[in-house]
């Protein structure tokens, strides 16, 4: 092996040594041919009448340009400083391009000459400008577009490179302007356009820094120190926690193709972008020319973007997340793609088997088998139920509510001496079977979170767990029987997605 490699190495060295003296290094020539980059993006002067770019608010994307020749495209973008909702009951003063976070989506074609008009609304308090990553020229347009409140600036550039590019404000302090939401995407289509899909959506991640804690109500000022420390209060898609969920979810039907244009405004964090339950058929990583196929999670740098195509086969809710996962579940980086259509059991069965798997828990579950035998023989005591319930509570409910029953302040409510629970103890059966979401107040503290349904627990287990909860940590709320649980289970249809 070793001696056969030697001549190859030598040859490589010789080539490397010679190439600077030959005219064009072959690798470089190839790259130019591949990307159709700036050297090839000048298709001459604009033809025909100037066109006005169609700008869209997220998550909508303007239609394809449909042009086959370079045009003069006029873009008019207005900066607005607006107080909007960042989370339910939480207000924030966003600085926006076009009234939304992210800013309006801009779509042009490679070779177009773009006449850019930046207007700064008279109500603004700050000057602003725009740096488009798709511009070839100093500052990406920043200096030429510096605009005081109540003014308008104009500059022109030729879109030489195709790709998906971020734009952002670059007025000092730059970090603060970006943190306040001043970013968006500009797509420069390749000359032949993009492959046809059924839906195109615009999603952009950003990190936000408020003086108050996550979900602390009221108007929240920007926190410069948190921003410098890169310690965001919120990590969001499209500028607010509710931007892409419930009735605002992205939508598609089974059998359709979906294209996501995803940017990351930062200012600080890099996104590990993932769609739970889907695989990207193609990812144009970094918004560039080449695609990778069959991708689970793709990295989107701050100030970067990517485009992904995928086909949807199975109905349900697909969750867009930053897979740096605490950001998704504790800072808001979560959006929904809702797919409607016929089930396809050959591709995804849903839950088929739900059997008890004990593993190494078997030993710790002696109280459970004792209780089960006692229940069968009709001699089950309160003590046996509590002991069995404790074994199940540990590692199930305790993950969130803690072994102490005290929960975690602000995140998981306490079960110990909970006034909410004491008001209607029996309702706890419903919470375990169907989950619990929405605003509740426990011992004077507000919670607005999600407890997942745990209908995989059988009736005995739920009766025992709740009996343990009702008789622990100072609670005196009585006993729950298997029959009570069976009755509630019979009355309530299983929640959609309960197995997830
Ligand atoms: Cu700005």
Residues of the chain with CATH 1.10.760.10: 393-491
Residue 132 CA to ligand 1 centre (angstroms): 13
Contact partners, residue 163, CB within 8 Å, separation at least 6: 134, 187, 188, 287, 288, 289
How do residues 277-298 score in pLDDT, each as one tens digit? Answer: 999 999 999 999 999 999 999 9
Q: Is 290 annotated as a binding residue?
A: no
Residue 169 CA to ligand 1 centre (angstroms): 5
Residue 124 CA to ligand 1 centre (angstroms): 10
How do residues 118-132 score in pLDDT, each as one tens digit? Answer: 999 999 988 999 999
CA nearest 273: which of 214, 349, 203?
Answer: 203
pLDDT tier for residue 8 given thresholds of 50, 70 and 90: very low
Q: Is 168 annotated as a binding residue?
A: yes
Q: Is 259:312 a contact under the CB 8 Å cutoff?
A: no
Which residue in the block uniquely carries the two structure tokens 């079977």? 433
Residue 71 φ/ψ, nearest 5 degrees = -125, 165
Q: Is 177 annotated as a binding residue?
A: yes
Residue, of 20 and 283, whose pLDDT is higher = 283
Residue 183 CA to ligand 1 centre (angstroms): 9
Asked whether residue 9 carries a pLDDT value surpassing 70, the answer given is no
- What is the DSSP pairing of strand 271-276 with strand 316-322? antiparallel
Predicted local confidence at residue 360, as pLDDT = 55
Predicted local confidence at residue 498, as pLDDT = 37
From first CA to last CA, the distance across the chain in angstroms is 53
Residue 128 CA to ligand 1 centre (angstroms): 4
pLDDT tier for residue 362 given thresholds of 50, 70 and 90: low
Predicted local confidence at residue 397, as pLDDT = 87
Contact partners, residue 448, CB within 8 Å, separation at least 6: 88, 215, 438, 439, 440
Q: Which of 24-28, 116-120, 496-500 has the lowest mean pLDDT?
A: 496-500
Average pLDDT of the segment spanning 15-41: 49
> Is the omega angle on the peptide bond into residue 267 within 30 degrees of 0, that is, cis?
yes
pLDDT tier for residue 382 given thresholds of 50, 70 and 90: very high
Cα 240–Cα 246–Cα 249 angle in degrees, nearest 5: 75
Residue 170 CA to ligand 1 centre (angstroms): 6
Q: Is 274 annotated as a binding residue?
A: no
> Is the omega angle on the peptide bond into residue 447 within 30 degrees of 0, that is, cis?
no
Predicted local confidence at residue 339, as pLDDT = 95
Predicted local confidence at residue 2, as pLDDT = 40
Predicted local confidence at residue 452, as pLDDT = 77
Contact partners, residue 47, CB within 8 Å, separation at least 6: 69, 70, 71
| Token pair for 323 | 């897979």
Cα 146–Cα 153–Cα 128 angle in degrees, nearest 5: 30
Asked whether residue 356 carries a pLDDT value surpassing 70, the answer given is no
Sheet holding 304-311, edge to edge: 234-237, 199-208, 257-266, 304-311, 280-284, 292-295
Report the C-alpha gap between 280 and 256 in whole angstroms.
13
Average pLDDT of the segment spanning 204-228: 95
Query: Half-sphere exposure of 298 toward its Cβ, with a 13 Å CA cutoff?
Result: 29
Q: Is 176 annotated as a binding residue?
A: no
Q: What is the mean pLDDT of the chain?
A: 88
Predicted local confidence at residue 352, as pLDDT = 76
User: Can you list the pairs that 29-36 forms with residues at least 24 positions away whose Cβ atoms lie under 8 Å?
Assistant: 34/289, 34/290, 35/161, 35/288, 35/289, 36/110, 36/162, 36/190, 36/191, 36/289
Residue 79 CA to ligand 1 centre (angstroms): 8
| Token pair for 225 | 């120190």
Residue 181 CA to ligand 1 centre (angstroms): 9
pTM score: 0.68
Residue 136 φ/ψ, nearest 5 degrees = -95, 110
Residue 390 CA to ligand 1 centre (angstroms): 56
Q: Is 222:202 a contact under the CB 8 Å cutoff?
A: no
Predicted local confidence at residue 472, as pLDDT = 97
* Whole-number percent of the chain with pLDDT over 90: 73
CATH of the domain spanning 42-192, picked from 2.60.40.420, 1.20.120.1760, 2.30.30.760, 3.30.540.10: 2.60.40.420
Contact partners, residue 147, CB within 8 Å, separation at least 6: 79, 118, 119, 120, 127, 128, 129, 153
Q: Which of 14-28, 63-77, 194-208 has the lowest mean pLDDT?
A: 14-28
Residues of the chain with CATH 2.60.40.420: 42-192, 202-359
Residue 211 CA to ligand 1 centre (angstroms): 20
Which residue in the block uniquely carries the two structure tokens 């689970």? 296
Residue 95 CA to ligand 1 centre (angstroms): 7
Report the C-alpha gap between 186 and 168 in whole angstroms.
10
Asked whether residue 1 carries a pLDDT value surpassing 50, the answer given is no
Asked whether residue 383 carries a pLDDT value surpassing 90, the answer given is yes
Q: Which of 34-38, 108-112, 415-419, 481-485 has the lowest mean pLDDT?
A: 34-38
Residue, of 18 and 69, whose pLDDT is higher = 69
Asked whether residue 54 carries a pLDDT value surpassing 80, the answer given is yes
CATH 3.40.50.970 fits 393-491, yes or no: no
Residue 119 CA to ligand 1 centre (angstroms): 12
Residue 177 CA to ligand 1 centre (angstroms): 5
Please list all protein residues whose beta carbon sits less than 5 angstroms from ligand 1, which is an ion: 128, 169, 171, 177, 182
Residue 37 CA to ligand 1 centre (angstroms): 29
**Helix boundaries (H) for 36-170:** none
Report the C-alpha gap between 202 and 218 in whole angstroms.
28
pLDDT tier for residue 36 given thresholds of 50, 70 and 90: low
- Concatenated DSSP letters of 461-494: HHHHHHHHHHTSTT-------HHHHHHHHHHSPP
Q: For 202-359, CATH number?
A: 2.60.40.420
Residue 118 CA to ligand 1 centre (angstroms): 11
Residue 180 CA to ligand 1 centre (angstroms): 8
Q: Which helix (H) or strand (E) holds 74?
A: strand 72-87
**The CA-based dihedral angle spanning residues 425, 430, 434, 440, taken in that order and rounded to the nearest 10 degrees:** -40
Q: Identify the top-confidence range among 135-144, 306-315, 409-418.
A: 306-315
Predicted local confidence at residue 38, as pLDDT = 66
Predicted local confidence at residue 41, as pLDDT = 84
Q: Which of 26-30, 104-108, 253-257 has the lowest mean pLDDT?
A: 26-30
């Amino acid at each position: 092996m070793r001696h056969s490699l030697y001549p190859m190495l030598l040859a490589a060295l010789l080539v490397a040594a010679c190439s600077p003296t030959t005219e064009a290094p072959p690798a470089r020539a190839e790259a130019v041919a591949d990307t159709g980059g700036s050297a090839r993006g000048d298709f001459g002067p604009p033809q025909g009448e100037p066109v006005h770019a169609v700008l869209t608010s997220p998550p909508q994307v303007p239609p394809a340009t449909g042009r086959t020749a370079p045009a003069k495209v006029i873009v008019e973008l207005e900066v607005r400083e607006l107080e909007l909702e960042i989370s339910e009951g939480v207000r924030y003063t966003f600085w926006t391009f076009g009234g939304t976070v992210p800013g309006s989506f801009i779509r042009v074609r490679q070779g177009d000459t773009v006449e850019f008009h930046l207007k700064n609304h008279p109500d603004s308090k700050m000057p602003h400008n725009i740096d488009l990553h798709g511009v070839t020229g100093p500052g990406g347009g920043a200096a030429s577009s510096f605009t005081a409140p109540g003014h308008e600036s104009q500059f022109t550039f030729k879109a030489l490179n195709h790709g998906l590019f971020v734009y952002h404000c670059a007025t000092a302090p730059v970090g603060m302007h970006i943190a306040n939401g001043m970013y968006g995407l500009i797509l420069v289509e390749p000359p032949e356009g993009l492959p046809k899909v059924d839906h195109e959506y615009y999603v952009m991640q950003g990190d936000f820094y408020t003086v108050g804690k996550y979900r602390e109500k009221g108007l929240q000022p920007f926190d410069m120190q948190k921003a410098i420390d890169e310690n965001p209060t919120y990590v969001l898609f499209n500028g607010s926690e509710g931007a892409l969920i419930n009735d605002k979810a992205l939508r598609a039907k089974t059998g359709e193709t979906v294209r996501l244009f995803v940017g990351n405004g930062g200012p600080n964090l890099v996104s590990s972008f993932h769609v739970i339950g889907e695989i990207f058929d193609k990812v144009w990583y970094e918004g560039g020319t080449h695609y990778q196929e069959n991708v689970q999670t793709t990295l989107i740098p701050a100030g970067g973007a990517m485009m992904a195509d995928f086909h949807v086969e199975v109905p349900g809710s697909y969750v867009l997340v930053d897979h740096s996962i605490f950001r998704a579940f504790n800072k808001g980086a979560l959006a929904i793609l809702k797919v409607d259509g016929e089930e396809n059991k050959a591709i995804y069965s849903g839950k088929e088997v739900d059997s008890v798997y004990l593993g190494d828990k078997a030993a710790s579950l002696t109280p459970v088998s004792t209780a089960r035998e006692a229940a069968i023989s009709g001699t089950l005591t309160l003590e046996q139920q509590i002991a069995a319930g404790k074994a199940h509570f540990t590692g199930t409910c305790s993950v969130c509510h803690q072994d102490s029953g005290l929960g975690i302040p602000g995140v998981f409510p306490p079960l110990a001496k909970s006034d909410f629970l004491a008001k209607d103890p029996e309702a706890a059966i419903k919470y375990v079977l169907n989950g619990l979401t929405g605003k509740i107040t426990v011992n004077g503290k507000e919670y607005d979170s999600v407890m997942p349904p745990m209908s995989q627990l059988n009736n005995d287990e739920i009766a025992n767990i709740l009996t343990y909860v009702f008789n622990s940590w100072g609670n005196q709320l009585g006993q729950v029987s298997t029959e009570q649980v069976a009755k509630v289970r019979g009355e309530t249809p299983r929640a959609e997605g309960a197995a997830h």
